[in-house]
Structure 1
Amino acid sequence: MPENVTGPAAATGEVVLTDIREDALSLDEVVAAVQDPACGGVAVFLGVVRDHDRGQEVDSLDYSVHPSAEQRLAEVAQAVAARSGAVRLAAVHRSGHLGVGDVAVVVAASAPHRDAAFTACRDLIDTLKAEVPIWKHQHLGDGGAEWVGLS
């Protein structure tokens, strides 16, 4: 992280938005949430349902959410904010049924400089995937189905 960070974002990381929703996600909402006059870098990650996984065709998927998932998402974002320094963070994840091309997750981070924004954004999506209890049930093109990431 740059040593010359100044302004409101310099004090500590701030989580400005976390949510899990059945409705379509808005990239504009998440980007607007992390914008700050002191931040010149905004990094965004979109997770989109793809048409294949590990060599198999995917038709759609369902996200199941544990009752603790929203609280856990907020905790994960707070932890990333604390270790990332001068950033604003937001993460919104879908639940329910999604088709190919649907946005499943939007994560954004802003910071005075791009490196901190990229680092925080990557940390947030990686930690979210590893620690927030949201499970993916894929419906395959051959009529089969599989749970992903349960182990």
Structure 2
Amino acid sequence: MEAQKKLLVVAHVPSPNTLKLRQAVVDGARHEDIENVEVRVLAPLEAGPEDVMACDAIILGTTENLGYMSGALKDFFDRSYYPCLEKTEGLPFACYIRAGHDGTGTRRAIESITTGLRWKRIQEPLICRGDYRDEFEEQCRELGLYVAASLDAGLI
């Protein structure tokens, strides 16, 4: 049997709608056709560098707060950045942003930190903009499925 790959989902979920988005990501990643990927889900305040170093890929989720990522995700990066620097270079990652406005400041902040860590972005950030729509859940499900399937197939 092939060794299980580890996908870490670190997402801030301060509302019922953001919980739906995280659950959609997880549901996609745990699709029945994905055979060799273990999905671990942590809140940013619970996740740390040891979790990042133990995973094979990561999906980050955040709300847009005052044109920036959530304080919880920023705290995760603050605690993880230096311990992970040079140890997680090339880590495949994707992210989704629940943005009430345009999400560009949040995207820029995540890109700046992940560029410093030398992580490998495997797809453009998913930005769920404006008023909440049910289609955001399907987009998040597809994100989780894409990352897990790519990991399962050895593409990332």
Larger radius of gyration: 1
Same fold (TM over 0.5): no
**Which structure has the highest strand share of the two?**
1
TM-score, structure 2 length as denominator?
A: 0.28
